[in-house]
């Protein structure tokens, strides 16, 4: 700890997935310990960090655009420190200094716990600092995290990914799977419970393989069962599950638990077996369909969501139509849909028959049209029912309304009334369902 630095201000901008959100919380935690305070006004900051994502090219372009914008602030305040973190930092390393000379430091995904040392070095050296290790030295424990909200918190249970889906850059920028010791995870969750958090989301690129690096076969099921016993926590979520590794043991624990939410996010990626094989996903549509049947049999009220990529190399119109049909068969509550983006260094980037952008866009639109209709139909069936909602806070667009989520992870809005309810579990009657959001009224209030 250094007590020489006081009341400096920092802003941390985060792109990408929940892993990045959590890393940012750990950046903020470390920076607070050396005297920085958070500000969302970039022009008042002494330090700006951008935590980056490189999963698709569009994300990268947006981020480089944002980095470019910061040049103006640096011109006004030459003492401003600008740091780039996250997956794009891990991938592009010192290239970032060449593309953006106003950047002061670049910190990789394996160096998250080293931020305070790095900042001291930047402040003293007044020179560019690159801290990008090729692999993890150890798990980033004992790093204080300052969580964004007060109700719901992310807790990483494992880092990295071993799957090497052929389109995906994540294994290259996040390294191999490393599971955190169960005791550390439970301790962190108990602490969060004591601080008043009600919901936790266990994070990992492939949570279902938790513990496999320690030769535990049913590690994730065991972990869920342990987390379920932490009394002060009322809701448990997890992401992301790989369909190949989701198993009966996990479904059984979810079934027996009152706290683990009835929400299954299982990225299918494509509804065509030919494409799935080329993606190296390790399952077929038949396997996936059986898995969903098992889930629906055991947890009938479950919501099921997915991720889909359109325009993977070699995806003909006919194979794309298989995906459309698959959506209609499974009837997902929601699907997060992406246009395939070529990531250099991944096997798919050099596969033949890359699909033209216009075609990919048309497929995305067709997919969204089908899915939106299904999502709305499913949500409409909820009209009139009363659901348990965890209150997260005011609605972003309308502060006369409160926002919360159902156990099935649907966003719901209702009119604010009565005393402060953030963090409470309330009953809300759904009176108007839309594709992405439900609207309702407090029930029996």
Q: Which residues would be at the binding site for ligand F3S (CB under 6 A)? A: 16-17, 19-20, 53-55, 86-87, 169-170, 173-174
Closest approach of ligand SAH to the CB of residue 117, in Å? 30
> What H or E segment, with its residue span, contains residue 202?
strand 199-203
| Closest-CA residue to 173 (of 309, 325, 52, 1) | 52
Closest to ligand SF4 by CB, 178 or 235: 178
Sequence-distant (≥ 6) Cβ neighbours of residue 46 within 8 angstroms: 8, 9, 10, 36, 77, 79, 80, 81
Closest to ligand F3S by CB, 56 or 198: 56
Tokens of 236: 């448990």
Closest approach of ligand SAH to the CB of residue 22, in Å? 14
Q: Which of 168, 223, 230, 304 binds ligand SF4 (CB under 6 A)?
A: 168
Residues 94-126 as b or e (16 or more Cβ within 10 Å = b): eebbeebebbbbbbbbbbbbbbbebbeebbeee
Does 240 engage in binding with ligand SAH (CB under 6 A)?
A: yes
Rounded Cα–Cα distance for residues 416 and 404 (Å): 11
Does 363 engage in binding with ligand SAH (CB under 6 A)?
A: no
Q: Which of 45, 89, 253, 309 binds ligand SAH (CB under 6 A)?
A: 309
Does 275 engage in binding with ligand SF4 (CB under 6 A)?
A: no
Which residues from 132-161 bind ligand SF4, rule CB under 6 A?
161
Does 173 engage in binding with ligand SF4 (CB under 6 A)?
A: no
Decide which of ligand F3S, ligand SF4, ligand SAH, none touches 178; Cβ closer than 5 to 8 Å per partner kind.
none
Beta bridge partners of 203: 156, 239
Number of H helices, E strands in the chain: 13, 19
> What H or E segment, with its residue span, contains residue 26?
helix 18-33
Q: Which of 97, 154, 167, 210 binds ligand SAH (CB under 6 A)?
A: 167
Closest to ligand F3S by CB, 85 or 225: 85
Decide which of ligand F3S, ligand SF4, ligand SAH, none touches 338; Cβ closer than 5 to 8 Å per partner kind.
ligand SAH
Q: x/- site string to ligand SAH, residues 182 to 221, per CB under 6 A?
A: -----------------------xx---------------
In this structure, the dihedral spanned by the alpha carbons of residues 428, 430, 435 and 437, taken in order and rounded to 10 degrees, is -30
Q: Which of 164, 336, 436, 445 binds ligand SF4 (CB under 6 A)?
A: 164
In the complex, residue closest to ligand F3S by CB:
16
State how far Cα 61 lies from the chain centre.
20
Does 97 engage in binding with ligand SAH (CB under 6 A)?
A: no
Does 163 engage in binding with ligand SF4 (CB under 6 A)?
A: yes
DSSP type of residue 269: B
Does 19 engage in binding with ligand SF4 (CB under 6 A)?
A: no
Decide which of ligand F3S, ligand SAH, ligand SF4, none touches 408; Cβ closer than 5 to 8 Å per partner kind.
none
Closest to ligand F3S by CB, 55 or 131: 55
Rounded Cα–Cα distance for residues 319 and 441 (Å): 44
Closest to ligand SAH by CB, 268 or 402: 268
Angle at 249 between CA 243 and CA 254, to 5 degrees: 85
Indicate the burial class of 420 (C-beta count within 10 angstroms; 0-12, 13-18, 19 or more).
exposed
Does 346 engage in binding with ligand SF4 (CB under 6 A)?
A: no
Kindly indicate which of the ranges 178-186, 287-295, 297-305, 338-346 contains the residues binding ligand SAH, using the contact rule CB under 6 A: 338-346
- The CA-atom distances, in angstroms, between 201 and each of 155, 191, 204, 401 are 6, 14, 10, 25
Sign of CA dihedral 57, 26, 213, 248: negative
425 CB neighbour count, 10 Å cutoff: 15
Binding residues for [4Fe-4S] cluster are 17, 53, 87, 161, 165, 168
Binding residues are 17, 53, 87, 161, 165, 168
Residues in contact with ligand SF4 by CB under 6 A are 161, 163-165, 168, 170-171, 205-206, 242
């Amino acid at each position: 700890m250094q007590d020489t630095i006081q009341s400096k201000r920092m802003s941390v901008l985060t792109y990408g997935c929940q892993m990045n959100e959590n890393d940012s919380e750990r950046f903020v935690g470390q920076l607070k310990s050396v005297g920085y305070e958070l500000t969302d006004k970039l022009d008042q900051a002494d330090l700006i960090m951008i935590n980056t994502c490189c999963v698709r090219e569009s994300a990268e372009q947006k981020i480089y655009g944002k980095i470019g914008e910061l040049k103006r602030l640096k011109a006004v305040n030459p003492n401003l420190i600008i740091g780039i973190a996250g997956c794009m930092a891990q991938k592009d390393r010192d290239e970032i200094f060449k593309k953006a000379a106003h950047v002061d430091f670049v910190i990789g995904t394996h160096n998250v716990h080293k931020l305070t040392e790095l900042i001291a070095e930047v402040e003293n050296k007044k020179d560019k600092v690159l801290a990008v290790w090729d692999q993890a030295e150890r798990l980033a424990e004992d790093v204080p995290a300052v969580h964004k909200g007060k109700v719901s918190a992310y807790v990483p249970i494992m880092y990295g990914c071993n799957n090497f889906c052929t389109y995906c850059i994540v294994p290259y920028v996040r390294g191999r799977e490393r599971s955190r010791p169960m005791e550390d995870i439970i301790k962190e969750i108990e602490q969060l419970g004591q601080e008043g958090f009600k919901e936790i989301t266990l994070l990992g690129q492939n949570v279902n393989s938790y513990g496999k690096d320690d030769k535990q076969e049913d590690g994730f099921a065991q972990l869920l069962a342990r987390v379920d016993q932490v009394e002060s926590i009322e809701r448990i979520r997890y992401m992301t599950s790989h369909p190949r590794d989701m198993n009966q043991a996990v479904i059984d624990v979810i079934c027996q638990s009152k706290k683990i939410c009835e929400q299954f996010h299982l990225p299918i990626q494509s509804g065509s077996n030919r494409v799935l094989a080329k993606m190296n996903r390790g399952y077929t549509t038949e396997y996936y369909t059986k898995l969903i049947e098992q889930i629906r049999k055991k947890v009938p009220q479950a919501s099921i969501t997915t991720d889909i990529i359109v325009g993977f190399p070699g995806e003909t119109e006919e194979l794309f139509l298989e995906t459309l049909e698959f959506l209609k068969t499974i009837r997902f509550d929601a699907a997060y849909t992406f246009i395939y983006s070529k990531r250099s260094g991944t096997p798919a980037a050099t596969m033949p028959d890359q699909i033209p952008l216009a075609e990919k866009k048309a497929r995305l639109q067709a997919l969204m049209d089908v899915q939106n209709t299904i999502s709305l139909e499913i949500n409409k069936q909820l009209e009139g029912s009363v659901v348990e909602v965890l209150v997260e806070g005011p609605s972003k667009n309308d502060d006369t309304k409160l926002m919360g989520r159902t156990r099935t992870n649907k966003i719901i809005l209702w009119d604010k009334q009565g005393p402060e309810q953030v963090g409470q579990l309330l009953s809300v009657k759904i009176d108007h369902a839309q594709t992405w959001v439900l609207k309702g009224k407090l029930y029996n209030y």
